[in-house]
């Protein structure tokens, strides 16, 4: 029987996967490298520190951080160590008693954390709690034997790769109006690889509670065409947690932070990962609607993660600065993991983009990998194309010419040429000629761009100029001949 996506059996399949496997889910099955990397927790620690500098916590009270879906617990362990080390630099914060509560829906994971020597070393800096979906406001802390009470301070919620496991609904706007996606699973339970999802669409029912209706209304009013999701599970979870304390939320997941990037897709199916778990893109934009502060990355590639810092507080300068300047520009949290690829012989366009971003679009960085880029332009995604274009223009903005500077204009021309953006390529070939003088090969490249732009008389002129410089030059003669065909 077709049901709204959030009420389908998909989410139970996901929960059963984690419940059945316990920590064995991380034996080559569940993705974890990115969110458990040293670079990841270091970036989070910087952001949390910035938030604390803007909004200093009471040094006499324990400040609670609650991690949802802690899995194996490595992220939590590293984050506590990173925070402890960094706090020591700040007079006002160095004695801050904080406690990171690891939580999960899987009781077996708690057993693993309890026994883990690295977590034991952290003493009162960590506590553990079993999370029951739908009852997130009743948090019993296993180690201290009490209910979580922030004492009026904010609760900092950490959520990595977990909002994508919570139910969402899907809608689409067509010329007929707003419709709700219904799905039917065949068979209804089992391994996700064996389950077929059948989609149909129906008029929107009026079952939504008021806090979700606002979100649905927002999209119904603003989306002209395309599909969008409403993360009902994550919204419910945050609503309950907000019953405990004002929230700050730091989360990373594959997801959308800009509605237009979501609504270009006609449907939003799940992606199955090797090993049997699956994930959905998280609509972070929808989550952000209920917060006063919303800092969000704007990555174009779909399979990298987006990071958001949302809060029931006014954003201070330290957090905004740290998020935008120190974190989002290089986005080391994503891009460091891309740089593993060459050492695993798995270079893709994304690995090169990661390298360039990590180097803040430095012209020398482009010169180092530019020769390789065209080879990866046979098969790449729309998001990768957008990222590449941003990187090329940012690198150009960083250009500083002197004799001996990297030949940025030539590499930009070469890459734009390979992207078949001929007017921009032509401009960069001309700029290269202005910098290094007339050159027959550059004239041929310009002629080829002009030919592709159907500006044939100008193309002829460039081929002839090349032949003037190098009589009999094969590329120029062949170009001229091709014009006459």
Ligand X SMILES: C[S@@+](CC[C@H](N)C(=O)[O-])C[C@H]1O[C@@H](n2cnc3c(N)ncnc32)[C@H](O)[C@@H]1O
Q: Please, are residues 381 and 353 in contact by the beta-carbon 8 Å criterion?
A: no
Span 244-283, contacts to ligand X by CB under 6 A = none
Using the rule CB under 6 A, is 35 a contact of ligand X?
Answer: yes
Q: Which of 77, 129, 154, 166 binds ligand X (CB under 6 A)?
A: 166
Whose Cβ is closer to ligand X: residue 15's or residue 84's? Answer: 15
Q: Which of 7, 16, 29, 32 binds ligand X (CB under 6 A)?
A: 32
Whose Cβ is closer to ligand X: residue 230's or residue 426's? Answer: 230
**Among candidate residues 228, 222, 310, 294, the one with its CA nearest the CA of residue 261:** 228
Q: Which stretch binds ligand X (CB under 6 A): 87-95, 159-167, 383-391, 401-409?
A: 159-167
Span 56-75, contacts to ligand X by CB under 6 A = 68-71, 75
Q: Which residue is nearest to ligand X (CB)?
A: 69
* Number of Cα atoms under 13 Å in the Cβ half of residue 24: 6
CB of residue 177 to ligand X, shortest distance in Å: 32
CB of residue 156 to ligand X, shortest distance in Å: 15
Q: Which of 78, 160, 331, 334 binds ligand X (CB under 6 A)?
A: 160
Span 89-128, contacts to ligand X by CB under 6 A = 104-106
Q: Which of 6, 8, 30, 451 binds ligand X (CB under 6 A)?
A: 30
Q: Is 145 left (phi over 0), alpha (psi -120 to 50) or beta?
A: left
Q: Which stretch binds ligand X (CB under 6 A): 162-170, 221-229, 438-446, 465-473?
A: 162-170
Q: Which stretch binds ligand X (CB under 6 A): 29-37, 288-296, 378-386, 439-447?
A: 29-37
Structure token digits, residue 370: 């530019």
Using the rule CB under 6 A, is 165 a contact of ligand X?
Answer: yes
Using the rule CB under 6 A, is 18 a contact of ligand X?
Answer: yes
Rounded Cα distance, 472 and 183, in Å: 67
CB of residue 30 to ligand X, shortest distance in Å: 5
Rounded Cα distance, 347 and 215, in Å: 40
Quote the distance between the C-alpha of residue 264 and its chain's center. 17
Using the rule CB under 6 A, is 133 a contact of ligand X?
Answer: yes
Residues that bind ligand X (CB under 6 A): 15, 18, 30, 32, 35-36, 68-71, 75, 104-106, 131, 133, 160-162, 165-166
């Amino acid at each position: 029987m077709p049901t709204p996506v959030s009420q389908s059996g998909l989410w139970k399949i996901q929960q059963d996967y984690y419940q059945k496997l316990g920590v064995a889910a991380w034996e080559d099955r569940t993705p974890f490298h990115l969110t458990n990397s040293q670079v990841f927790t270091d970036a989070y620690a910087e952001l949390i520190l910035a938030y604390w500098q803007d909004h200093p916590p009471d040094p006499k009270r324990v400040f609670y951080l609650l991690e949802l879906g802690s899995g194996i617990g490595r992220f939590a362990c590293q984050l506590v160590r990173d925070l402890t080390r960094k706090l020591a630099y700040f007079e006002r914060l160095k004695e801050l008693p904080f406690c990171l509560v690891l939580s999960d829906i899987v009781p077996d994971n708690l057993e693993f954390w309890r026994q883990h020597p690295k977590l034991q070393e952290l003493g009162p800096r960590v506590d553990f709690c079993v999370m029951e979906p739908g009852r997130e406001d009743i948090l019993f802390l296993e180690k201290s034997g009490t209910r979580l009470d922030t004492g009026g301070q904010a609760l900092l919620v950490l959520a990595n790769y977990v909002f994508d496991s919570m139910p969402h609904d899907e809608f689409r706007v067509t010329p007929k109006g707003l419709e709700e996606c219904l799905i039917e699973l065949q068979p209804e339970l089992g391994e996700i690889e064996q389950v077929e999802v059948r989609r149909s669409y129906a008029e929107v029912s009026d079952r939504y509670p008021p806090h979700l209706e606002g979100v649905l209304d927002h999209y119904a009013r603003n989306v002209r065409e395309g599909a969008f999701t409403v993360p009902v599970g994550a919204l419910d979870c945050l609503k309950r947690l907000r019953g405990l304390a004002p929230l700050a939320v730091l989360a990373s997941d594959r997801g959308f932070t800009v509605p237009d990037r979501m609504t270009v897709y006609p449907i939003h199916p799940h992606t199955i990962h090797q090993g049997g778990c699956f994930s959905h893109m998280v609509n972070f934009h929808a989550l952000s609607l209920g917060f006063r502060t919303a800092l969000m990355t704007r990555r174009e590639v779909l399979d990298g993660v987006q990071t958001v810092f949302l809060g029931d507080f006014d954003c201070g300068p330290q957090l905004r600065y740290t998020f935008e300047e120190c974190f989002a520009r290089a986005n080391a949290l994503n891009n460091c993991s891309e740089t593993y690829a060459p050492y695993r012989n798995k270079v893709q366009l994304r690995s090169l983009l990661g390298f360039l971003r990590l180097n803040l679009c430095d012209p020398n960085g482009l010169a180092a990998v530019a020769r390789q880029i065209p080879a990866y332009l046979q098969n790449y995604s729309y998001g990768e194309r957008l990222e590449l274009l941003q990187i090329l223009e940012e690198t150009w903005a960083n250009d500083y010419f002197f004799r001996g500077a990297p030949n940025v204009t030539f590499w930009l021309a070469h890459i734009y040429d390979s992207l078949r953006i001929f007017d921009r390529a032509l401009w960069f070939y001309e700029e290269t000629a202005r910098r290094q003088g007339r050159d027959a090969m550059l004239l041929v490249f310009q002629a080829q761009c002009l030919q592709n732009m159907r500006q044939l008389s100008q193309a002829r002129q460039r081929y002839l100029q090349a032949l003037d410089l190098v009589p009999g030059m094969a590329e120029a003669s062949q170009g001229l001949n091709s014009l006459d065909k």
